[in-house]
C-alpha cells in the first residue's frame, strides 16, 4: 500500500510535554513508521501539523492532505487516532468523512483499520468523529469554567501583563497575579491625569485627547522614538479596570463567522457578559480618577483639536451636517473675512454659513429652551437621591450575576441528564428573559443617575445668571463644555437655493435635558 502519515498534537499532548513527557509528534511518528514496516506499507509523505487549530481552515497540512486524498493520491492514511483528523465542528467532520468515503482511502490506526467502502466501518468511523467532537466540546467547557473561576478569584489569565504591571507566579497555588512596575505605573498615572485634568503646555493648562497624549509621550522620550502607544492604545489604557485593582475576563470574546464562500473566520467583539472581579494586585490609579475618565469618554466631551493648538470653535464635536452626517468644520477668519462653518465631505451639497450667525442662532435657542427651568432640590437631597439610585443599580447587578450563575447551572444539569430537553429550554428562556429585563432596568437607572447629575450641574449655572451673560464671560473651551452639558448633538442644514441670505439655515438640537417648563428634580 502507498500511504501518508498525518501527525497532530492534541491539547493533552501539549500539557504532557509541559510536564516533561517528551516531544509528541516524534513519538507518534516513530510508532506509525514501525506500524507501516510491520504491515509492509510504503510511506510517501509525512504531514506534521505544527499548529493545533480547532478547524480545518486553520490547519494547512490537513487541507493539503484532504486535497490529495480527494484526488486519489493515497491508498491509506496512517494516524494515531481518528479524532486527530477532525475534532472540530460537524461541518469539518462531514468534510473529512465525505472526502475519505468518496476516494475509498483507508484510515489506519494502531488499533483498527477503517475502510470507508465498508458500511460498518463507515458507521463506526462517523460515530468515532461524533464522540471526538463531544469530548472536545466538554473539554472546552471545563476549561472555560476553570478560567472563569480563576478570574473570579482575582488571578490574572492573560499571556502578556498590561502596561504598568508584570506577571508573577502565585506562591503555593496555581495561577498568576500582577505586580506593579513603578516606572511604567507613573506613565499610566500621567495618562489618566492628562486626560481628566489636563497639563500645562506653553503656559496654558488644557486637557489632552488620545492622540495628543500619544504624541506627548513620544516627545518626552518616555518610550523609544515611535514606540509610544497609539491613540487606540491610550484609549485601551483609560478603559481598562485592571488599573483600579480589577480583573476583567471575557471582555472581547471570539465569535465565529461563516462567509458566503464557506470560509470560516474568527473575530473579537466586546461582550456585556464580561467578568469583573477584585484582583489580587494593587491598583495604580484611584477609582475616582478612573470613573471620571469613563464619564468623559462616554460623553465624548473632549473637543477634537490638535496637540498644542488652542480651541477656536466652541461648537467642536457638537455640530453635524444634516445631509451627510459628518461633523461640520470651522474655517478661521483670514484677511478680514468672517469665520465660516462648512462641511468638508466631498460631494456634500450642504452650503456654508458665517460662524457668528450660527453661534447667535444657537444661543437664542439655548436661552429659549432653558427658560422655565427651576431647581428645587438642595445639594443634600441630590446626594441622597443619587445614593438611592446607585444602591438600586448595585443590587440589580448583583441579581444579574446570580441569574448568570443559574444559567451556567442549567447547562450543567442538562449535560448531566438532570434536565430533559423541554425543561432545559424552558428554564433557559425564563432565566434569559429575567437577565434581559434586569439589564434594561439597570441601563435606565444609570441613565437617570447621569441626568440627575447633569441637571444639578446645569442648575448651578442657571442660578448664577442668564446663560447669555455667562456664555460671554468664559473662554472658548468653557463655552464648548457648557454647550455639551446642555446638548448631545446639533444638526446644521442649508440648501443651495437658500444661499442668497447668510442667515437662511436650519439648526436642529438634541438636548440632554427634558423639555422646558418641567421641574428639574
Domain assignments of the chain as residue spans, ordered by start: 2-149, 165-245+281-301, 311-521
Q: For 399-466, what is the HEC assignment?
A: HHHHHHHHHHHHHHHHHCCCCCHHHHHHHHHHHHHHHHHHHHHHHHHHHHHHHHHHHHHHHHHHHHCC
Please state whether 481 falls in left (phi above 0), alpha (psi between -120 and 50) or beta. Answer: alpha
pLDDT score recorded for residue 463? 46
Nearest to 209 by CA among 283, 288, 311: 311
What pLDDT sits at residue 374? Answer: 47
Which pLDDT score, from 0 to 100, does residue 19 have? Answer: 47
What's the farthest any 2 CA atoms get from each other in the chain? 99
Nearest CA to 453 out of 368, 395, 377 is that of: 377
SS3 content of the chain, % helix, strand, coil (to 5): 50, 15, 35
pLDDT confidence of residue 50: 72
Of 249, 243, 298, the closest CA to residue 271 belongs to: 249
DSSP string, 372-403: T--B-S-HHHHHHHHHHHHHHHHHHHHHHHHH
Could you tell me which CATH number the domain at 165-245+281-301 has? 3.90.1750.20
Tell me which residue of 194, 200, 203 sits closest to 289, measured CA to CA: 194
The predicted structure's pLDDT at residue 491: 93
3-state secondary structure of 324: coil
Q: Residue 318: which of 340, 337, 303 has the closest Cα?
A: 303
Residue 159 confidence (pLDDT): 82
How far is 197 from 199, CA to CA, in rounded Å?
7
Gap between the Cα atoms of 402 and 413, Å rounded: 16
Q: Which residues contact 236 (CB under 8 A, 6 or more apart)?
A: none
CA angle 162-166-172, nearest 5°?
125
Q: Enter the DSSP assignment of 279.
A: -
Q: Which CATH architecture has domain 2-149?
A: 3-Layer(aba) Sandwich (3.40)
- What is the pLDDT at residue 348? 87
What does the CA dihedral 267, 268, 270, 272 come to, rounded to 10 degrees?
80
- Please state whether beta strands 340-342 and 199-201 pair in parallel, antiparallel, or not at all (unpaired): unpaired
Q: What is the pLDDT of residue 357?
A: 92
Q: Is the dihedral of CA 216, 222, 228, 233 positive or negative?
A: negative
Q: 222 φ, ψ to 5°?
A: -70, -35
The predicted pLDDT at position 166 comes to: 92
CA pair distance 317, 167, nearest whole angstrom: 40
Q: Average pLDDT by consecutive 10-residue portion of the chain (521 residues)?
A: 85 53 75 90 87 71 89 90 71 79 88 83 72 69 80 86 91 89 90 86 75 81 66 87 89 64 62 81 90 81 55 86 89 75 86 90 81 48 64 79 78 73 82 82 74 58 55 78 82 83 88 55 39
* Per-residue model confidence (pLDDT) at position 192: 92
Position 519 scores a pLDDT of 43
Amino acid at each position: 500500500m502507498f500511504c501518508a502519515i498525518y501527525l497532530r498534537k492534541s491539547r493533552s499532548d501539549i500539557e504532557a510535554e509541559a510536564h516533561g513527557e517528551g516531544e509528541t509528534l516524534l513519538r507518534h511518528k516513530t510508532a506509525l513508521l514501525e506500524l507501516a514496516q510491520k504491515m509492509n506499507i510504503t510511506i510517501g509523505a509525512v504531514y506534521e501539523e505544527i499548529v493545533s487549530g480547532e478547524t480545518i481552515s486553520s490547519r494547512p497540512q490537513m487541507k493539503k492532505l484532504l486535497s490529495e486524498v480527494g484526488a486519489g493520491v493515497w491508498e491509506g492514511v496512517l494516524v494515531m487516532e481518528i479524532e486527530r483528523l477532525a475534532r472540530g465542528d460537524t461541518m469539518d467532520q462531514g468534510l473529512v468523512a465525505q472526502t475519505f468515503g468518496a476516494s475509498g482511502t483507508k484510515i489506519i490506526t494502531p488499533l483498527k483499520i477503517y475502510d470507508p467502502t465498508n458500511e460498518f466501518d463507515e458507521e463506526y468511523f462517523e460515530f468515532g468523529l461524533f464522540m471526538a467532537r463531544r469530548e472536545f466540546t466538554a473539554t472546552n467547557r471545563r476549561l472555560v469554567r476553570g478560567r472563569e473561576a480563576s478570574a473570579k478569584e482575582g488571578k490574572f489569565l492573560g499571556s502578556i501583563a498590561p502596561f504598568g504591571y508584570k506577571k508573577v507566579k502565585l506562591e503555593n497555588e496555581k495561577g498568576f497575579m500582577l505586580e506593579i512596575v513603578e516606572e511604567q505605573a507613573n506613565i499610566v498615572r500621567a495618562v489618566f491625569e492628562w486626560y481628566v485634568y489636563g497639563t500645562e503646555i506653553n503656559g496654558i493648562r488644557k486637557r489632552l485627547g488620545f492622540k495628543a497624549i500619544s504624541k506627548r509621550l513620544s516627545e518626552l522620550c518616555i518610550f523609544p522614538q515611535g514606540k509610544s502607544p497609539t491613540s487606540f492604545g491610550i484609549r485601551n489604557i483609560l478603559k481598562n479596570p485592571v488599573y483600579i485593582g480589577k480583573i476583567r475576563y471575557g471582555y472581547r470574546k471570539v465569535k465565529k463567522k461563516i462567509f458566503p464562500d464557506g470560509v470560516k473566520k474568527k473575530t473579537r467583539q466586546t461582550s456585556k457578559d464580561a467578568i469583573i472581579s477584585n484582583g489580587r494586585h494593587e491598583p495604580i490609579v484611584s477609582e475616582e480618577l478612573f470613573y471620571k475618565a469613563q464619564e468623559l469618554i462616554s460623553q465624548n466631551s473632549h473637543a477634537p483639536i490638535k496637540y498644542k493648538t488652542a480651541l477656536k470653535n466652541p461648537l467642536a464635536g457638537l455640530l453635524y451636517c444634516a445631509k451627510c452626517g459628518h461633523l461640520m468644520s470651522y474655517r478661521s477668519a483670514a484677511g478680514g473675512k468672517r469665520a465660516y462653518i462648512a462641511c468638508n465631505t466631498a460631494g456634500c451639497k450642504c452650503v456654508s454659513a458665517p460662524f457668528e450667525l450660527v453661534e447667535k442662532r444657537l444661543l437664542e435657542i439655548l436661552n429659549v429652551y432653558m427658560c422655565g427651568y427651576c431647581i428645587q432640590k438642595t445639594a443634600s437631597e441630590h446626594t441622597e437621591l443619587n445614593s438611592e439610585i446607585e444602591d438600586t443599580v448595585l443590587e440589580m447587578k448583583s441579581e444579574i450575576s446570580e441569574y448568570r450563575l443559574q444559567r451556567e447551572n442549567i447547562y450543567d444539569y442538562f449535560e448531566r441528564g438532570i434536565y430533559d430537553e423541554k425543561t432545559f429550554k424552558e428554564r433557559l428562556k425564563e432565566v434569559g428573559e429575567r437577565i434581559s429585563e434586569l439589564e434594561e432596568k439597570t441601563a435606565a437607572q444609570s441613565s437617570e443617575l447621569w441626568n440627575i447629575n447633569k441637571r444639578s450641574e446645569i442648575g448651578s449655572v442657571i442660578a448664577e445668571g442668564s446663560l447669555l451673560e455667562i456664555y460671554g464671560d468664559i473662554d472658548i473651551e468653557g463655552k464648548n463644555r457648557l454647550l455639551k452639558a446642555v446638548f448631545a448633538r446639533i444638526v446644521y442644514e442649508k440648501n443651495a437655493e437658500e444661499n442668497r441670505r447668510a442667515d437662511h439655515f436650519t439648526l436642529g438640537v438634541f438636548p440632554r435635558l427634558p423639555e422646558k417648563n418641567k421641574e428639574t428634580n
